Structure 1
């Protein structure tokens, strides 16, 4: 039952937002009483923490699988982008913004975990790109990996990038191209242009 609660709550939170969804909504969607949910989660904050941990672990597994395919570094970034957009339902409800606003402790903890995982993933991607001649060998890998993470967090700020004006999919496309144009060799730019056409 706990897995069912997590699954349904994840779906509702990602679609409607962490603030909007109540325990009553979740109970109704599952066709159970609120008491059943409280048997597994002591309150909504506990449930939100369970859901964010679950999302984080599933996204990490998906990214690990993509990285194990040994694609070229540019295709790898676009594959990760496609997977996360699909899994996070295009982030239409700006879950990160709501999580930060209403559950700041959970958000801060999640952000730290995201940084550790993403830092490792991006450093490997950058080093692979340098090794195959797609990324310039003069880039500062540590700096680029950190600025990449900061930018990824930044484009999810709905005050800066309102969802009415920018879809998350469009923002990620723009950001990936912005990132790659700053680090690619001529060979990398050619591959990036081919990947962009293929992903349209």
Structure 2
């Protein structure tokens, strides 16, 4: 039983590596079998079709992203001012794993899977963004003079446009860089002046002269 689970996970791991990089339409089952060092028969025993393999990959990806986002938003020990940056970094890292070819394949060849991703984005990502914004307003980190429903809808439309293959295929940046830039501009736009100063100070790297002066004072 343990061995079967290990083989299944190994197939998923190598499939992610190839599919995320090249898109699944450009990777044949023969190429996957060669990379794995096993027969196609073995692969089909665990995943009777490439579609089932893609379904499982996406399920794992969404579960990982969901746990990561909720972990950041609900972390009571983390300094709240750090949460937007952590969220930005985490989602950017997840996006960096996926190539434009993979996203294009999902949208064009398996629309039901793409729809599931879109629903996840609305239900999980946007729900947690709304929760983060509400807490930020209470803490004086985010501005309170912006309608929350409008803000969340604007965020949703911006993210959806960024992930649209027709949009990012025309941009000289990767989906990950585009998404990170969008989030950075978006979060900075809703910060209060006080919070913006705090973040600016936190991100300032001391100059060498300042460091030497501090060392002499010790």
**TM-score band, normalised by the shorter chain?**
0.7 to 0.9
Contact kept? 1:18, 1:95, Cα under 8 Å: yes
Counterpart of 1:40?
46
Number of residue pairs the alignment of both structures matches = 198
The answer to whether 1:23 aligns with 2:32 is no
Q: Which runs of 5+ in 2 are unaligned?
A: 1-6, 206-218
The 1:36–1:99 alpha-carbon spacing in structure 2 relative to 1, beyond 3 Å, is same
The alpha carbon displacement at 1:125 in A equals 0.8
Counterpart of 2:214?
none
The alpha carbon displacement at 1:160 in A equals 2.1
The alpha carbon displacement at 1:164 in A equals 6.1
The answer to whether 1:130 aligns with 2:131 is no
Q: Secondary structure at the match of 1:42?
A: coil
Counterpart of 1:60?
66
The 1:52–1:194 alpha-carbon spacing in structure 2 relative to 1, beyond 3 Å, is farther
The 1:123–1:195 alpha-carbon spacing in structure 2 relative to 1, beyond 3 Å, is farther
RMSD value over aligned CA atoms? 2.4
The alpha carbon displacement at 1:72 in A equals 4.5
Counterpart of 2:178?
171
CA deviation profile, 1:34-77 (whole Å, cap 9, x unmatched)? 11111122211111111111111111122233234343455323
Q: Secondary structure at the match of 1:160?
A: helix
The answer to whether 1:183 aligns with 2:193 is no
Counterpart of 2:212?
none
Q: In terms of mean alpha carbon deviation, does 166-175 or 122-131 score higher?
A: 166-175
Contact kept? 2:81, 2:199, Cα under 8 Å: yes
The alpha carbon displacement at 1:147 in A equals 2.0
Q: In terms of mean alpha carbon deviation, does 167-176 or 85-94 score higher?
A: 85-94
Counterpart of 1:6?
12
Q: Which runs of 5+ in 1 are unaligned?
A: none
Q: How does the TM-score come out when normalised to structure 2? A: 0.79
Q: How does the TM-score come out when normalised to structure 1? A: 0.85
